[in-house]
Structure 1
Amino acid sequence: MSAAFVLRSAVSAAAILALAGCGSATVGGGGSSARAKWVGSVVRTPDGGQLRTTIYYGPWQCSAAFLSRCESKCAAQGYPLMGCMWLADIKGDWQGRYLFMPAEAGGRLAITHCCCDYPTVSNGRQLREKWKNAREGFRRQWGSEFGEWPSTNGANWQGHHIFDLAHGGPPVAPDNVLPVPQDVHQVFNDEYPACYAPGGKWLTPGPARPYVD
């Protein structure tokens, strides 16, 4: 299964930004700059506040903690872990009011994929057709929560399936599609086979903080 994300544009009564999903909370830190970065427009949240989403793109090798979590996840499904890819970090910054006073909150979510030794599926073409038929509506829905779907020179960014379709990932699940620039998407596609192959770098732990803002 993918380490996917669901960001909801809502803030709790305690003014804590809701960042929920199968990813893990992270803090930006050391390392080099991210391969790419997207800063979304400000969107209104149901509580009357404002939310801005920023996405930092890898891929990076998973930290030891992420690898351990993936190993347990794969074992629970009856598969060995072949590798783990830390695809991106999603950062949310909220501004609004709490108890009638100005307030700010934020958080980050790591988007990782556990490359369990899944068999490939025979209906990959049908899954891709399902995504192709649904992607315009998917982009509109995504944009209503996080700001307009990213594009470069008028060309929409690719929708990357975190749990890949070749191994049976859900094609239109809201928590399984991440907008990715074309050059980064190519890197992802090149590295996924290596993540599923035995003995590769994606089974070696990386730093807990692989990039700087």
Structure 2
Amino acid sequence: MAATSTIRSPASAAVLLALVGCGSATVGGGGSPARAKWVGSVVRTPDGGQLRTTIYYGPWQCSAAFLVRCESKCAAQGYPLMGCMWLADIKGDWQGRYLFMPAEAGGRLAITHCCCDYPKVSDGKWRRDTWKNSRNAFRDEWGREFGGWPSTGGVNWQGHHIFDLRHGGAPVARDNVLPVPDDVHGVLNREYPACYAPGGQWLKPGPERPYVD
């Protein structure tokens, strides 16, 4: 039998859906395999069901629809859009009972970042130090809900800030930190400055379905 852990509250059961502020529902499709993939352990939900989470990692260029949404978001804050990065897809598969019958449900959520032309913040050191001092507790809490923070060879994966700290991202917000393997984190760190630069590839639309499972 697969190992399971228990989600401790209905709010925690929906923690992945909190990321909807950073993404949109998607479906799997064409393209090349994702750069990396993580399959979580089975987690028990408050309704007595079981949930397994899978994360597919890019980054990919945003679809035309995501670019339009980002452009509107940036304009509402008074900034032009410089680029849009599709960082990952989170897939949830639920099994349980509904009306006393076996039932299954699931879906995917695209995690994107709109690179609005934000000014760099002056308190970047405070934000970095806040994350450094809190990341162990953050990983432990995340792991209690999802069966363990991802690791490779006993080394924890990095926590990537979707809205980067340099431009004002929250250091320990639950909906702003995504576990990523080291190689993907390196790619993201290299590409974020390009996303904020004018005229780059991240302002060009990509496919609706950029990867295969």
Q: By the TM > 0.5 criterion, same fold?
A: yes
Q: Give the whole-Å Cα distance in 2 for the aligned partners of 1:19 and 1:103.
A: 20
Is residue 9 of structure 1 aligned with residue 3 of structure 2? no
Residue of structure 2 equivalent to 1:135: 135
Is residue 78 of structure 1 aligned with residue 78 of structure 2? yes
Q: Give the whole-Å Cα distance in 2 for the aligned partners of 1:62 and 1:29.
A: 14
Residue of structure 1 equivalent to 2:25: 25
Q: Show structure 2 runs of 5+ residues with no match.
A: 1-10
Q: Give the whole-Å Cα distance in 2 for the aligned partners of 1:154 and 1:8.
A: 26
1:48-82 CA-to-partner distances (Å, cap 9, x unmatched) read 10000000000000000000000000000000000
Moved more, 145-154 or 46-55: 145-154
Shift of 1:142: 1.1
Shift of 1:19: 3.3
Residue of structure 1 equivalent to 2:207: 207
Shift of 1:8: 4.8
SS class of match (2:145): helix
Q: Is the 8 A contact 1:82 1:196 kept in 2?
A: yes
Residue of structure 2 equivalent to 1:124: 124
Residue of structure 1 equivalent to 2:193: 193
SS class of match (2:13): strand
Q: Give the whole-Å Cα distance in 2 for the aligned partners of 1:9 and 1:152.
A: 25
Residue of structure 2 equivalent to 1:3: none
Residue of structure 2 equivalent to 1:47: 47
SS class of match (1:119): coil
Q: Give the whole-Å Cα distance in 1 for the aligned partners of 2:13 and 2:41.
A: 13
Letter in 2 for 1:129: D
1:155-213 CA-to-partner distances (Å, cap 9, x unmatched) read 00000000000001000000000000000000000000000000000000000000000
Q: Give the whole-Å Cα distance in 1 for the aligned partners of 2:188 and 2:146.
A: 23
Q: Give the whole-Å Cα distance in 1 for the aligned partners of 2:164 and 2:128.
A: 10
Q: Is the 8 A contact 1:160 1:180 kept in 2?
A: yes
Instruction: Show structure 1 runs of 4+ deviating over 3 A.
Output: none
Letter in 2 for 1:187: V
Q: Is the 8 A contact 1:8 1:19 kept in 2?
A: no
Larger helix share, 1 or 2: 2
Letter in 1 for 2:114: C
SS class of match (1:79): coil
Q: Give the whole-Å Cα distance in 1 for the aligned partners of 2:199 and 2:175.
A: 29
Q: Is the 8 A contact 1:60 1:210 kept in 2?
A: yes
Residue of structure 2 equivalent to 1:162: 162
Q: How many correspondences in the alignment?
A: 200
Residue of structure 1 equivalent to 2:37: 37
Q: Give the whole-Å Cα distance in 2 for the aligned partners of 1:151 and 1:206.
A: 30
TM-score of the two chains, using structure 2 as the length reference: 0.92
Report the identity percentage. 83
1:6-55 CA-to-partner distances (Å, cap 9, x unmatched) read x9525xxxxxxx83521100000000000000000001000010000000
Q: Give the whole-Å Cα distance in 2 for the aligned partners of 1:37 and 1:164.
A: 22
